[in-house]
Structures are given as structure tokens and as C-alpha cells.
Amino acid sequence: MALILLADDHLLVRDAIAMVLSEMGRHDLILADSVCSAVEMVDAGRRPELVILDFRMPGMAGLAGVRRMRDRLPGVPVALLSGTPAGAIAPDALAAGAAGFISKTLLPAGLLGAVDQLLAGQTYFAPDAGPDPEGPALTRREYQVLRGLANGLANKEIARDLEISEVTVKLHVQSVCRKLDARNRTHAAIMAMRLGLL
């Protein structure tokens, strides 16, 4: 069992990954929603054996977030987490000191295997697995609403952020659920993660 620091600004994505790692992998998790909060936890004395950072979240500034964590935790592997393909940034990620690149589209067994490999001191770069070209086509507004769902926002909060009515948000949520074949808003966010949409 290892202590893992997982930082991702999408609440449901973070919780889904944490659930897999804690319940199936039996690991202990420290959760953060930004690079800054992750750094604060480390500065406060938390010492994880593996750090997993969402590639696109507040404070990352490209690969600067990887360097910040590496400076604070020398010898501790730092991996990137993303729903986009690794190929284009893999060389730069390695140069910045990243030990791996984990795709959000990995099934639980693949995620656990990637984490085990990283904890063993090896590098792990998932095969490029971007969004399914045959997958659901979401409108720009539906994608914005989906990001709100993934962040755990209520319809009222999404409506305020996007400056649209709650009724419109509800219609978009229904459309997103239909396109993703999701049972509810939580399931929609998890399906989106698996499809690489977030």
C-alpha cells in the first residue's frame, strides 16, 4: 500500500480515480484540486510515494507543475493525467522530469497497472488514446455543461457561470446524458472521462 497524491480540478473525475486506487489498489490517497493546493500539502509535511497531476488544471502552466513537485519531492515519481493523447507532449514531459503519462480513458485494471509500474520506479506512458472519433458529438455548450458536472456543480451554479437559465442547463444535461447513454449526471461525467472528453 502506498500514499498517492492525486491532483485534478474535476471533482467527479478525481473521486472516480481515487475510488479505484483506494478500493481496488488499496492505496491511501491525498486529494487536491490544483497544483497550488498539492504544493501546500507537501509543504505541510505530507510525503506521498507517487504524485499524479492532471495535465490541464490551475497552476500547471504547461509542465511547470511537474517541475515544482519534483523540486519539493526529489526521488518521488510525478506522473501526468490527461484525457488527450500523450504523443505530442511525451518528450517534453520526460524532459521536465515526469515519470509517466496516464490516460483518463484507462479501465480500472489498466490504471492500477500503470500506478504499480510507477511505484516500482519504472516509467509509464499510455498508448495514444484520444477521444473515440466515432463517439458522441457534443456541442460547445454541452461540453461546457459537462465540465460543470465533472466539477460537481449544481445546475444553478452552471447556469450562473455560463450566464444561461437553469432550464437551459437542465435541457443540456438531458441531451448530454442521452448522447453518452448515461443514467444520470454523475454517470455522464464518468462516461466522459472514459471517452477522453475531459
Cell of 83: 484525457
pTM for the structure as a whole:
0.69
For the beta carbon of residue 183, count every other beta carbon within 10 angstroms: 10
Question: The dihedral of CA 71, 76, 82, 86: what is its sign?
Answer: positive
Cα–Cα distances in Å, from 100 out to 121, 157, 183?
Answer: 10, 35, 33
pLDDT digits (tens, 9 = 90+) for 133-162: 445 677 888 888 988 888 889 999 999 999
Angle among Cα 189, 194, 195 to the nearest 5 degrees reads: 95
pLDDT digits (tens, 9 = 90+) for 159-188: 999 999 999 999 999 999 998 888 898 888
**Domains observed in the chain:** 3-125 (3.40.50.2300), 140-194 (1.10.10.10)
